[in-house]
C-alpha cells in the first residue's frame, strides 16, 4: 500500500507576513477567502481561538445542498512565522493537519503550506491541492484589497 504524503503548496503574496498570518486568524478576513470566491462563509459561523489548544470552526456554504461545518484545533501559533492547526468536517476524531510557514521575501510573503494526516487517498490529496489553489487565490484577492 502506498502512503499518502499529503499536499503542499508554495505561494507568494504581495503582503507582509503579519497580514498573511492575520488572514488565517481574523474572522472578518477569514470569511472572505475560506472556501474560495464561490463559497459563502457567514461571519457568525466563525470562531477562531488562535492559541495552542484553542479551537476553531467555520461553516462553508457552496450551494443550497452543499454545506461543510469545518472545525479543528490550533497546535502551534507563532505570529507571524508559523501556524499549525487540525481540520475536519467529518464526524469522528480523524483530523488533517494544516501547516503554514511564512517568510518575508522582497515581493511580500512566501507561504509554504501543507496538508497532511494520512486520512485521504493520494487522489484526494491531489484534489485538495487544486482546491487550496482556488482558496489561496481568494486569499490573495482579500489581502490585495486590504493593502
| DSSP line for 53-64 | T-EEEEEEEEET
Could you give the CA distance from residue 57 to residue 120 in angstroms, rounded to a whole number? Answer: 21
Please report the domains of the chain, with CATH numbers, ordered by start residue. 7-146 (3.30.530.20)
- Bigger pLDDT: 147 vs 46: 46
Please say if the pLDDT value at position 67 is more than 80.
yes
Query: Would you state the pLDDT for residue 2?
Result: 41
Mean of the pLDDT values across residues 15-44? 96
Its pTM stands at: 0.93
List, for residues 114-135, the tens digit of each pLDDT value: 999 999 999 999 999 999 999 9
Spatial CA neighbour of 125 closest among 4, 40, 3? 4
Amino acid at each position: 500500500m502506498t502512503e499518502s504524503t499529503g499536499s503542499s503548496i508554495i505561494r507568494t503574496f504581495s503582503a507582509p507576513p503579519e497580514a498573511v498570518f492575520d488572514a488565517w486568524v481574523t474572522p472578518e478576513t477569514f470569511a472572505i477567502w475560506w472556501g474560495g470566491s464561490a463559497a459563502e462563509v457567514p461571519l457568525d459561523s466563525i470562531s477562531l481561538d488562535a492559541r495552542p489548544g484553542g479551537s476553531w470552526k467555520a461553516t462553508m456554504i457552496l450551494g443550497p445542498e452543499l454545506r461543510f461545518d469545518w472545525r479543528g484545533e490550533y497546535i502551534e501559533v507563532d505570529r507571524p512565522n508559523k501556524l499549525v492547526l487540525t481540520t475536519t468536517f467529518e464526524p469522528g476524531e480523524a483530523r488533517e493537519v494544516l501547516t503554514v510557514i511564512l517568510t518575508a521575501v522582497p515581493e511580500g510573503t512566501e507561504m509554504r503550506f501543507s496538508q497532511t494526516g494520512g486520512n485521504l487517498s493520494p487522489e484526494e490529496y491531489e484534489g485538495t491541492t487544486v482546491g487550496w489553489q482556488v482558496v489561496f487565490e481568494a486569499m490573495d484577492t482579500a489581502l490585495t484589497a486590504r493593502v
